[in-house]
Every structure is written in structure tokens, then in C-alpha cells.
Amino acid sequence: MAFKKERLQEIIRHEVSQILERDFRRPGVLVTVLGADVSPDRQHAVIFFSVYPADKGEEIDQMIGRVIGIIQRDLNHTLQMRPVPKLRFVRDTSAAEAASIESLIKQESSASVTGHARRSRRTFRKSA
């Protein structure tokens, strides 16, 4: 069965997501499969995923490293194509980095507003 690359990427993303949810769920941890990037020769696929809370990311990386063979086997059984791309997982940390940057911006913004309010009170005082 021939698949277009985009359709194959979506199928792999969905199937890997289902496998992780069904067989490797961790209480209190949300693993989201963001996408899959299949090589032009369809021999390899990179799976991008995120973890919430972000501090559990290293634990999930290790868990996926231990069970990648099982995930690959389950995907091989599910997809009706040969060869099935060999999987590699990459954790996306951009959401955690964005949250960190946003937090810094909010801190700087609140410090600026506080400093501005202090200057404003001095400026508008009536002189006696």
C-alpha cells in the first residue's frame, strides 16, 4: 500500500500516540506526540513529543529508550506497509522554554510597572 509522505507521517504520529497512551501511560504525566518526520526513503522516522510536567521529561526519555523496541514492534504489526520506518524519539522542550521566557518577561514587566508607579506618585504630588 503506497502512502504519500504527509499521510504516512500523520498515521505514524497517531499510531505511536495510541501505543504510548494504551501501553505506557504514567500517572500524573501527559505525553503528547506532536508529529512525525519520515525520511524521503521512508526508512526512518523521527517522532517529536512533549511531556507535561516538564520536570518528568528525563524520566519519560529513559522509559521510551527502554521500550522503543516494543513500540516499533507494535507499529510494525499495525501498519500494512513494508518496510516500516525505524523510529527515533526526540523530546520537544520548546513549550518549557517558552514558559520560562514568558515568566521572565512577566517579572520584568511587573518590576517596570512598580518602578513607574513609584515615579508617578512623586511627579503628581502637590507642592505646598
Distance (Å, rounded) from C-alpha 110 to C-alpha 99? 16
pLDDT value at residue 94: 81
Residue boundaries of the structural domains of the chain: 5-92, 94-128
Distance (Å, rounded) from C-alpha 113 to C-alpha 18? 47
CATH tag, 5-92: 3.30.300.20
> What pLDDT tens digit does each residue of the chain (128 aa) get?
456 889 999 999 999 999 999 999 889 999 999 999 999 999 999 999 999 998 899 999 999 999 999 999 999 999 988 889 999 999 998 876 777 788 888 888 777 666 555 555 555 555 55
pLDDT value at residue 50: 94
